[in-house]
Amino acid sequence: MTYLLAIACVVGIAIGQLLFKFGAATLKNSGSIFDPKTFMVLSFSIGLYGLVTILWIYVLQRLELGKVYPLMALAFVLVPIGSYFLFGERFQPQYFVGLFLILLGIIVIAKA
């Protein structure tokens, strides 16, 4: 169960990053952090990060940091996937080799 909460933290961090990107785009268009849409997106992003931090502290009370922290590397996989679908970002083939190596590293660490 606690590992599932750790995965939820990773997903929360990834969603937060995607929301920060969306907030940055709305800020660029509006020119003001106080624009209602910009303010709402950035406030939600910060709130999500706060909630994820509290959840992460809960996870760390129950599991060893060295065992769960490597899961955070999954955010390096989830964020680009999200940015591809949400923002139309494109990546070179070498990028996917790097993502594969990250996943392989997580698997190796998980088996240790």
- Kindly report, residue by residue over 12-63, the tens digit of the pLDDT: 999 999 999 999 999 999 999 999 999 999 999 999 999 999 999 999 999 9
* Total count of domains within the chain: 1
* pLDDT tens, position by position, 66-102: 889 989 999 999 999 999 999 999 999 999 999 999 9
Distance, in Å, from the CA atom of 110 to the CA atom of 67, rounded to the nearest integer, reads 7
Range of the domain at 52: 1-111
Distance, in Å, from the CA atom of 96 to the CA atom of 7, rounded to the nearest integer, reads 21
The residue with tokens 């939600």 is: 44
Distance, in Å, from the CA atom of 88 to the CA atom of 36, rounded to the nearest integer, reads 25
Q: Tell me the whole-structure pTM to 2 decimals.
A: 0.88
Distance, in Å, from the CA atom of 89 to the CA atom of 73, rounded to the nearest integer, reads 20
